[in-house]
């Protein structure tokens, strides 16, 4: 789909992004049935491949969390307590939120899981709508990010130490010249 200044129109070609682009692309996540906005790329914190779901920290008010809690008995949701997520506009199932889970799924507790098969993504810079199932939402491992930040801090510290020693040398030199 594409935005033509008034409405979304269906695109003939399916736009696909490279995996590096997907991590930085700004997008909104929509219900595939009625196009209501469910979340955005700022809320995405990864994906759960075994459940074919996008992990989101926040969703819009157009996502209704069912008051009924369900218990998973088999598959990936075995021994989990969760609530279904529905689109407020068309009442279609768009995902689930896990309230309690075994340690293997600890990372998804209290995270909104949106089914990739039931959502579309509006890519802001290309003004096109693509199926979420055609994209990957794999996030860069936190340890790599922390290592990069640590290196930057170390470089800054080294630079500050060098400046400090130069200033100390200058102050000693100026005291000798008095």
The 10s digit of each residue's pLDDT in 94-150 is 999 999 988 888 888 899 999 999 999 999 888 889 999 888 887 656 666 677 888
Q: Is the pLDDT of residue 164 over 70?
A: yes
What pLDDT does 137 receive?
80
Judgement on whether residues 161 and 94 belong to the same structural domain of the protein: no
Judgement on whether residues 87 and 163 belong to the same structural domain of the protein: no
Range of the domain at 176: 140-178
Per residue, the 3-state secondary structure of the chain, as one string, reads: CEECCCCEECCCCCCCCCHHHHHHCCEEEEECCCCCEEEECCCEEEEEHHHCEEEECCCCCCEEEEEEEEECCCHHHCCCEEEEEEECCCCCEEEEEEEECCHHHHHHECCEEEEHHHEEEEECCCCEEEEHHHCCCCCCCHHHHHHHHHHHHHHHHHHHHHHHHHHHHHHHHHHHCC
**Structural domain count of the chain:** 2
Q: How many CB atoms lie within 10 A of CB 44?
A: 21
What pLDDT does 12 receive?
39
What pLDDT does 18 receive?
47
Judgement on whether residues 128 and 154 belong to the same structural domain of the protein: no
Judgement on whether residues 83 and 145 belong to the same structural domain of the protein: no
Q: Residue 83: which CATH number?
A: 2.170.150.20
* Residue 29: pLDDT band with limits 50, 70, 90: very high
Decide: pTM greater than 0.75: no
Q: How many CB atoms lie within 10 A of CB 124?
A: 14
């Amino acid at each position: 789909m594409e935005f033509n200044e008034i409405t979304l129109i269906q695109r003939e070609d399916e736009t696909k992004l490279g995996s590096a682009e997907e991590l930085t692309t700004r997008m909104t996540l929509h219900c595939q049935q009625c196009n209501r906005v469910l979340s955005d790329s700022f809320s995405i914190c990864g994906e759960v491949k075994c459940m074919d779901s996008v992990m989101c920290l926040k969703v819009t008010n157009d996502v209704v969390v069912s008051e009924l809690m369900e218990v998973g008995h088999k598959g990936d949701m075995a021994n989990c307590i969760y609530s279904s997520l529905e689109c407020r506009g068309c009442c279609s199932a768009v995902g689930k939120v896990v309230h309690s889970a075994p340690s293997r799924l600890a990372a998804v507790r209290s995270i909104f899981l949106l089914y990739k098969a039931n959502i579309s993504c509006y890519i802001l810079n290309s003004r096109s709508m693509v199926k979420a199932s055609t994209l990957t939402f794999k996030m860069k491992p936190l340890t790599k990010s922390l290592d990069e930040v640590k290196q930057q801090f170390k470089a800054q510290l080294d630079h500050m130490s060098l400046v400090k020693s130069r200033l100390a040398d200058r102050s000693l030199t100026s005291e000798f010249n008095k």
